[in-house]
Amino acid sequence: MDKIVLRDFSKEEQKKFFQSKYDYYKKFNMRMVTVAVLAYLSFFITDCSIFGHFAYETLLPRAIVIVPFFVYVILTKKVTDYRVMVFATYLMIHIIIWCTDWATYLLPDRQFAIPGMIIMNIIFVCAGFSAPFLYSMIAHMFLIVDIAVANIFIQYENLEMMYLFNLPCVLAIGAMHYMMQGVYFEHYVAKDSLKQLAVRDQLTGVYNRNILKEIYDASAGRLVFAPDLSVSMLLIDIDFFKKVNDEFGHEDGDKVIVHIANTLRSNVRATDYVIRWGGEEFLIIMPGCPSEQAIRIAGMLREKVEQSDNGICKTTISIGIAMYGGGDYHDTIKNADDAMYMAKNNGRNQVVSFEEDLKNN
């Protein structure tokens, strides 16, 4: 099997990956920025030592960084999109650099510029954990621009050394970020594979019952879909499946199950959940699907199965439909099960709606 690489992902999948990367390192990222700000503020003590008195000259450029940091903390609590937060993180780092340049301009002794750059490069290393590689490279390259702009005002005595020190740092840290992203990508793919194994039926590839743990909010006591959204549930059973196993064997019986699972999955919407509920039973959860539409879709699925060739024998299905009204989803499944058994008792190969048929009887 070919190794999966990030560029093989669609744009939407890449976005999901980078969001996962940011979410994983979010707390570390926040702590890193906090430490960077505190470290920057602590340099005021160094300023006092250089001046030989309370350094009121650099008090403003040192203290003003608290304002954007306060905004950053609020943003972290309210915004989850990695694109916004990674940009905000790097902007915060550059604000610290700009304030450092401002303070350095006011200092009588500027020999500590390169040691200060060492600290900033370490911060860039830490910021890259949560950022996409391209974001980190662009943000770090702007450090060179910061030096060039700052030199207009500060007139570094060792400007050449500043460039000779920082350019290799940018390249080396960029290479490290690229490798770090690759390591996290392998972790992400492995984690996703394990997750899929946990929620996918091994035989058919459709969901198993574990998927319900992901779409049911136990604290709210309901499925995660919006309360005003119509949610239909279809419970499907293969008619006379025991005869299929008895006549053709369990291996061919499995082929019939796989064929029907593929038929169901390929004829519902991408937003629907096709679940193997039992041996020959399937449950389809259809958010945003009112009763009338669910009945039409169920009828279409019944016809598709009846008309399709599974390579073993002619097969039909019976379908029960129930609408989810909130609360425990097991009640809705029970209603769909009652409707399905009515379909079986009425001769099989048909669709029965709990709301339309059973309640009216």
Report the distance separating Cα 182 and Cα 83, nearest Å.
Answer: 19
Report the distance separating Cα 31 and Cα 40, nearest Å.
Answer: 14
**Three-class secondary structure of residue 276 per DSSP:** strand
Could you report how far apart the first and last alpha carbons of the chain are, in Å? 56
The answer to whether 120 and 60 are in contact (CB under 8 A) is no
Active site residues: 280
Run of H or E residues at 214: helix 211-215
Buried b (16+ CB within 10 A) or exposed e, 323-357: bbeeeebeebbebbbbbbbbbbeeeebbbbbbbeb
Report the distance separating Cα 197 and Cα 200, nearest Å.
Answer: 5
